[in-house]
């Protein structure tokens, strides 16, 4: 597997093209953060408004990951990823042309849809790689794709400075942001014309029902309903934040109207879930043991993704300002130091998947890494201006490693739950990563960095405990092929054996 990564043929070509698609969606998604201070000064934004824009950037990714997961399972990753990449030019141009806070809120909410692209590649990679290699394959996809956050933080300011001659010497952030969307759209066309959903001879398996995730027990149905409400809660929290003083995007009546709309959305989701699972709930359908899975395991993976990817989203969004204010650094220097966190994705996330493949237990890999996340963030709680900067950087690297390795370990499990519903399951788990980002950044906007670090650390320690006692090892975790594929191969070979 590792030797094959230097190849650009067969399944490795698909892997490389897909992580590049993810990389570009993340460059677009994070193209605001490097310019937050500059944009704030030019458009006369309050500090609370800049923090709120960071939350808006995550908000619509929550429902988008679920919706895109459904579209993905129905239409396939090739079409879904291509359309998403081409759509990216819309919010990028909207951000580049923004003239005030309200314009930025709308453009960054739309940008959240682009941030949902991660889900698509999870299914694509699962189609091309067997269970025994799924951890490292998903880790490479996620890690090298997440590297786009570093690409945005490190390269976009340089592009903006290089193009400053067009703006009389001022940082040309508008051109840099617009350029990310144009490049993504061009690659969307390339991706559509050069990849395939499955290896030759394989059939792309779609869920039998659309509109909601099909579960296999009544208990799992109610667990899914509770899970859906959690995501609605996160959107309600954002609406509340947009009504607060110094923000005033919504007035009180508008906030209540949004809450009513969100409750309507929850009711619609619940109705769709009932329609898809009606036969199960009325006792007319009982799933065979081989078809069953526990939604409780999905819910636990949602929690792991809150603690790893949710904390990563929060850290990437706040670290530049944290280093700038804590150590009195210049904005560019602080941004370069903070970019170490997303840079670690290149190594950390693939290593989390590789450990999950080689350790022999995906459950205990997840448990140990979650504990590491907790310890590293609890140490970060104590960072202050009296610390040597190299020590603060070392703690940042430690936290980045465990959080990103945890992402790799999480998605070393997700595709093994129920392959034909991987898009929807990955969408749910991914949405909870954004749920975590919204909650963590809301806490940060109301408190301070030490409180944020300690909150993320305590949540990760609770997660480690839950994984140790409740997470189950997926069936066929280290098999050479998925169970349904093994049955197909056996069926195909049977007549040949009989003739012999």
Instruction: Delimit the domains of the chain by residue range.
Output: 3-196+207-480
What's the chain's Rg over C-alpha atoms? Answer: 22
pLDDT in tens, the chain (500 residues): 556 677 778 889 999 999 999 999 999 998 988 888 888 889 988 888 887 887 788 778 888 888 888 888 889 999 999 999 999 999 999 999 999 988 999 999 999 899 888 889 989 998 999 888 888 888 889 888 888 878 887 788 888 888 887 776 667 899 999 999 999 999 999 999 999 999 988 888 887 777 788 899 999 999 999 999 988 988 898 888 878 766 777 888 989 999 999 999 999 999 999 999 999 999 999 988 878 888 999 999 999 999 999 999 899 888 888 998 899 888 778 878 888 888 888 889 889 888 888 888 889 999 999 999 999 999 999 999 999 999 999 999 999 999 999 998 998 898 888 877 888 888 889 889 888 988 898 898 888 899 999 999 999 999 999 999 999 988 777 766 666 555 454 444 444 333 33
Selection from 187, 180, 131, 160 nearest residue 36 by Cα: 160
d(CA 488, CA 370): 37
Token representation of residue 191: 């991706």
Selection from 14, 306, 29 nearest residue 146 by Cα: 29
d(CA 321, CA 341): 14
Fold entry, domain 3-196+207-480: Growth Hormone; Chain: A; (1.20.1250)
d(CA 289, CA 369): 31
* Predicted structure pTM score: 0.82
DSSP secondary structure, 34-97, as one string: GGHHHHHHHTT--HHHHHHHHHHHHHTHHHHHHHHHHHHHHH-HHHHHHHHHHHTHHHHHHHHT
Burial class (CB in 10 A: 0-12, 13-18, 19+), 373: buried
């Amino acid at each position: 597997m590792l030797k094959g990564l230097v190849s650009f043929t067969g399944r490795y070509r698909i892997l490389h093209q897909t992580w590049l698609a993810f990389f570009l969606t993340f460059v677009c998604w994070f193209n605001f953060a490097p310019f937050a201070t500059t944009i704030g000064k030019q458009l006369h934004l309050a500090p609370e408004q800049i923090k709120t824009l960071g939350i808006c950037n995550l908000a619509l990714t929550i429902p988008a990951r679920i919706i895109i997961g459904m579209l993905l399972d129905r239409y396939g990753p090739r079409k879904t990823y291509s359309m998403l990449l081409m759509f990216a030019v819309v919010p990028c141009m909207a951000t580049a042309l923004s003239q005030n806070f309200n314009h930025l809120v709308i453009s960054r909410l739309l940008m959240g849809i682009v941030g949902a692209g991660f889900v698509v590649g999870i299914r694509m990679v699962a189609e091309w790689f067997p269970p025994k290699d799924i951890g490292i394959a998903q880790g490479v996809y996620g890690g090298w794709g997440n590297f786009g956050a570093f690409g945005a933080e490190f390269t976009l300011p340089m592009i903006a400075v290089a193009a400053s001659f067009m703006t009389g010497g001022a940082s040309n952030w508008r051109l840099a942001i617009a350029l990310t969307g144009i490049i993504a759209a061009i690659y969307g066309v390339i991706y559509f014309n050069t990849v395939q959903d499955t290896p030759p001879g394989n059939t792309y398996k779609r869920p039998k029902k659309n509109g909601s995730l099909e579960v296999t027990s009544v208990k799992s149905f109610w667990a899914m309903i509770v899970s859906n409400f959690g995501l609605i809660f996160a959107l309600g929290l954002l609406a509340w934040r947009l009504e607060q003083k110094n923000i005033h995007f919504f007035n009180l009546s508008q906030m209540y109207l949004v809450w009513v709309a969100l409750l309507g959305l929850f009711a619609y989701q619940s109705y769709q879930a009932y329609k898809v699972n009606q036969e199960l709930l009325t006792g007319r359908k009982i799933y065979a043991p081989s078809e069953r899975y526990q939604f409780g395991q999905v819910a636990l993976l949602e929690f792991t993704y809150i603690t790893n990817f949710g904390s990563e989203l929060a850290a990437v969004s706040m670290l530049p300002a944290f280093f700038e204010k804590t150590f009195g650094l210049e904005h560019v220097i602080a941004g370069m130091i903070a970019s170490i966190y997303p840079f670690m994705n290149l190594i950390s996330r693939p290593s989390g998947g590789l450990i999950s493949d080689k350790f022999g237990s995906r459950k205990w890999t997840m448990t140990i890494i979650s504990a590491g996340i907790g310890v590293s963030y609890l140490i970060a709680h104590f960072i202050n201006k009296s610390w040597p900067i190299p020590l603060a950087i070392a703690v940042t690297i430690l936290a980045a490693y465990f959080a990103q390795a945890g992402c790799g370990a999480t998605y070393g499990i997700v595709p093994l739950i129920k392959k034909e519903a991987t898009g929807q399951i990955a969408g749910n788990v991914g949405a909870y990563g954004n749920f975590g980002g919204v909650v963590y950044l809301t806490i940060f906007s109301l408190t301070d960095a030490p409180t944020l670090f300690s909150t993320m650390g305590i949540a990760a320690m609770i997660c480690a405990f839950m994984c140790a006692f409740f997470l189950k090892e997926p069936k066929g975790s280290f098999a050479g092929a998925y169970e349904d594929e093994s049955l197909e191969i056996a069926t195909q070979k049977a007549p040949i054996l009989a003739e012999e």
